[in-house]
Amino acid sequence: MRASSVHRNSDQSQPAKTSSAKWRWFAAMMIGVSVTGATWIAIPNRQVDPQPASAAQPKPKVSPVVFGDDPFEQPRSGAQAKGSVQAESAEPTNQEASPVTKSAGKKKQDKPLVKPKTVKKMVNRGIHWLVEAQQSDGGWGGGSHAKQNIRDPSAVPTDPATTAFTATALMRAGHTPTQGEHRDVVIRAMQYLVKAVEKAEPKSDKITTLTGTQPQSKLGGLIDTAMTAQFLTRVSETLPKTDPWYDRVDKALSECLARMERTQADDGSWNKGGGWAPVLQSAWNCNSLELAKAVGRDVDSDKLKLAKNYQKNNVNKATGGAKSSAAAGVELYAFSGSLRGNAADASQAQQVIASAKREGKLAADAEISEANLQAAGQSEEEAKELNDAVVQNSSQLRRLNDEQLLQGFGNNGGEEFLSYLMTSESLVIAGGKNWKTWDEKMKDRLGKVQNPDGSWSGHHCITSPVFCTAAALQVITTERDIELLKKVAAVKN
């Protein structure tokens, strides 16, 4: 087992507060600001997921991220306010998207919030921690819902969802079955997952008999299949057909995709099998089907469209407000899934308009609208669908500075990290000026909460340092996956 250098509790202990410090803490709480400097946001009617008393852990000091003046804060006007969007609205204009500005009217800073060498160190420390946490069977475990206080990665059973999610993080960082310093780690994870699928009961909805894991309890009982499918899709793109494991990987991926399509509900969701916030499980199933189709796998287009429409319908396209009924009352979870669900269509609309301009079908200053999309060759139904995606995408982008939205549950859990990840991928897929600003903010935000041992931890629900570290690393390294994510942008319905 490779967990010798991993701390048994990633949350570091803090000195006890003096009575004076306690009084300041109490006074601060009364006005809604914690002693760590992070704002606590009370959200009414939330479905609180209680933890055992023993799960309480001291929180690391977190400084709030102050969001500067960004292009996507500005409200739309004119034709945009009526549901029409500038055709080049997602491309840089003469108003440059700077990573941060201190206030309106002041000179913008050119330097990134986080230096590249600092980001590299963050990533390397996180990867080292994950590699050391891999267990002897090739897997990783996210721990159980019943024992969220156990943070030692070597003290929990391995599970497919956490293993696939962690191995995906390593692949995004450049470690694949064929290259990278830790290729052997990824190979053992691949073998673990292929064997899990091969052993699964053929008629079962799931690929594992293991129950009660943190990913299952919080996201849903079908999350193992979805996360395994996405990892195996990535593996299939890198593994040579001459590799002795290629055929087994191919067959296991096909089995996962078939189970996902079989278990989809009539409304396009996967909101069954339990789960505190099943909208995230539905989003991950949708993303996995979309990625598989992007690399040429046989995916039912009708089911994929139904899945994407479910995600889109969770948000009011005019306001960017998200439903939270299947998100445990936390708007962020539904918001991020929806943004990810419409990203490819928003990108496609921009491509159609840009192509029509090059061909002389539209004027150089033509906006994205249903009429212009039809003039560019789209059917009436296609034009409406693509235009709606752009309008919704634009309304959601304007909310990326909404700190109350980004706080999610109020503090970090695996669900928050997963939501940040889907938002990062959405911005890469959709393209445009917003990506750089968001990426800088996330690197700054996550850098402030990385544990001294290189891991990240959750403070509610998914507390697993393995899951949280894998998610945080994928957020920080999203741009390294741009080639694969752009294939998603190129997929047509």
**pLDDT beyond 70 at 67:** no
Q: What is residue 150's predicted lDDT score, i.e. its pLDDT?
A: 81
**pLDDT beyond 50 at 187:** yes
Residues 6+ apart with CB under 8 A from 117: none
Q: Is residue 375 part of a domain?
A: yes
Q: What is residue 110's predicted lDDT score, i.e. its pLDDT?
A: 58
Q: Is residue 430 part of a domain?
A: yes
Span 410-444, pLDDT tens digits: 888 999 999 999 999 999 998 878 999 999 999 99
The domain total for the chain is 1
What's the rounded Cα separation, in Å, for the pair 465 and 475? 15
Q: Is residue 194 part of a domain?
A: yes
Q: What is residue 86's predicted lDDT score, i.e. its pLDDT?
A: 39
DSSP secondary-structure letter at 214?
H
DSSP secondary-structure letter at 322?
B
Beta-ladder partners of 109 = 100
What's the rounded Cα separation, in Å, for the pair 311 and 482? 22
Q: What is residue 23's predicted lDDT score, i.e. its pLDDT?
A: 40
**pLDDT beyond 60 at 20:** no
Q: CA nearest 100: which of 110, 90, 92, 91?
A: 110
Q: What is residue 108's predicted lDDT score, i.e. its pLDDT?
A: 52
Residue type, 401: N
DSSP secondary-structure letter at 480?
G
What's the rounded Cα separation, in Å, for the pair 13 and 400? 33
SS3 53: helix
Q: Which of 15-24, 128-137, 178-187, 334-343 has the lowest mean pLDDT?
A: 15-24
Q: Is residue 289 part of a domain?
A: yes
Q: Is residue 254 part of a domain?
A: yes
Span 380-405, average pLDDT: 94
CATH number for the domain harbouring residue 174: 1.50.10.10
Q: Is residue 76 part of a domain?
A: no
Q: CA nearest 270: which of 341, 351, 200, 376?
A: 341
Q: Is residue 52 part of a domain?
A: no
User: How many residues are there in the chain?
Assistant: 493
What's the rounded Cα separation, in Å, for the pair 336 and 331? 9
Show the tokens assigned to 404: 């109350």
Span 117-121, average pLDDT: 93
Residue type, 460: H
- The proportion of the chain whose per-residue pLDDT surpasses 70, expressed as a percent, equals 77
Q: Which of 63-67, 338-342, 392-396 has the lowest mean pLDDT?
A: 63-67
Confidence category of residue 274, pLDDT binned at 50, 70, 90:
confident
Q: Is residue 461 part of a domain?
A: yes
Span 248-252, average pLDDT: 98
What's the rounded Cα separation, in Å, for the pair 390 and 392? 5
């999350």: which residue's tokens?
223
Confidence category of residue 105, pLDDT binned at 50, 70, 90:
very low
Q: Which domain holds residue 359?
A: 114-490
Q: Which of 37-51, 104-118, 225-239, 321-335 has the lowest mean pLDDT?
A: 37-51
What's the rounded Cα separation, in Å, for the pair 213 and 227? 14
What's the rounded Cα separation, in Å, for the pair 16 and 65? 26
């008629």: which residue's tokens?
203
Element (H, E) at 85: strand 85-86
Span 122-164, pLDDT tens digits: 999 999 999 999 999 999 999 988 787 887 898 999 999 999 9
**pLDDT beyond 60 at 253:** yes
